[in-house]
Amino acid sequence: MGEGINDYTKNIMDLRRHMWMAGVEEELRRLIWQIAVVGKYISAKIHEANRKLAGFKNISGDDQLSLDRAADEILKSQLQYSGFVREYASEEQEEIAKIGSGKEKYVVTADPLDGSSLVETNLAIGTIIGIHKESILDTGKNTMVAALYITYGPLITMIYSAGKGAHEFVLNREGEYVLSQEKIKLKEKGSIFSPGGLRRDWIPAHLKFVEQLEKDGYKLRYSGGFVPDINQILIKKGGLFTYPALQKSPQGKLRLLFELQPMAFIMEQAGGLATDGKEDILSLKVENVHQCSPIYIGSSAEVRMAKQFLS
């Protein structure tokens, strides 16, 4: 029996071992691991909020705001003295924060708790992280070296990429992130789509695109949460998420730096595409910390199809 347990342990691929075997440089490995651990602390905060619901006390808007801020503070405080991060940009902060000594190698962007309004309905939410080596503003080139997101659902999962494919890990009972899927690859064409925004507010070209998807038999799968909808496309190996330009909001509502760039990095590593309808998301110049952009992200066939309708 002991030999069986030892054999089982040998066959488990945890996050640290996987990154080491993939050749991810040491400082980046340690930073990704540290962020993954922070996900455990954020998960505990979410469970604390859910216990309020178990006591039949509704989570108010103030509680949701508090949860967002708590996730942001947990993440920032853990990174501040990590020795790896010189700047921290968060959806919860107006400006980029200088942390550490200023000589560290990396810049981290974060949406600490994407979809916190869904806590009350017990739907999955998540944390989105981008890791850069260079300045994140006023550049038209991709400065990202790694990205990850953590999904807090029935399971706590993490998908990360350090430029060598996209890989899924599951947090097990022992508190270890263990490999579930390595080098996720999307099919060229999927069968599901997740369209954000109100139909009445869509621009005509986008409306025609969605109508074509409906004619082609695509299934509607939209939770209202960016992380779970992107995760569904990756795990199902195909499909499309879009939050388009709206008639009164031509830049959409999702933030380029905190949400779109990290997900585009991961999606491209899985063989997919991500554009604003015309240009690749990772080629867009970031001029403002909270800059927004339309997004079409997922399987290559659907993203190219969107480009045709929007060109």
**Confidence (pLDDT) at 56:** 46
Report the distance separating Cα 218 and Cα 215, nearest Å. Answer: 8
Q: What is the CATH number of domain 192-310?
A: 3.40.190.80
Return d(Cα 298, Cα 275) in angstroms, integer.
Answer: 10
Average pLDDT of span 8-28: 87
Query: Which pLDDT score is estimated for 211?
Result: 98
First to last CA, the chain: 63
Domain with CATH 3.40.190.80 in the chain: 192-310
Q: What is the mean pLDDT of residues 174-189?
A: 96
pLDDT recorded at residue 268: 98
Check if the beta carbon of residue 274 is closer than 8 Å to that of residue 263: yes
What residue spans of the chain are helical by DSSP H? Answer: 2-11, 15-21, 26-54, 61-80, 204-215, 226-235, 261-269, 300-310
Residue range(s) in the chain whose domain bears CATH number 3.30.540.10: 2-181
Q: Are 240 and 229 in contact (CB under 8 A)?
A: no
Q: How confident is the model at residue 58 (pLDDT cuts 50, 70, 90)?
A: very low
Query: Which pLDDT belongs to residue 120?
Result: 78
Does residue 16 carry a pLDDT above 50?
Answer: yes
Whether 140 has a pLDDT exceeding 80, the answer reads no
Q: Which CATH architecture has domain 2-181?
A: 2-Layer Sandwich (3.30)
pTM of the model: 0.92
Residue ranges with strand state E in 153-302 = 156-161, 167-171, 177-181, 192-195, 219-220, 240-243, 273-275, 295-298
Spatial distance between the Cα atoms of 146 and 29, rounded to a whole number of angstroms: 10
Q: How far apart are CA 97 and CA 276, in angstroms?
A: 28
Question: 298 pairs with which residues across the strands?
Answer: 240, 273
Give the three-class secondary structure for 178: strand
pLDDT higher than threshold 70 for residue 63: no
Number of residues that this document lists for the chain: 311
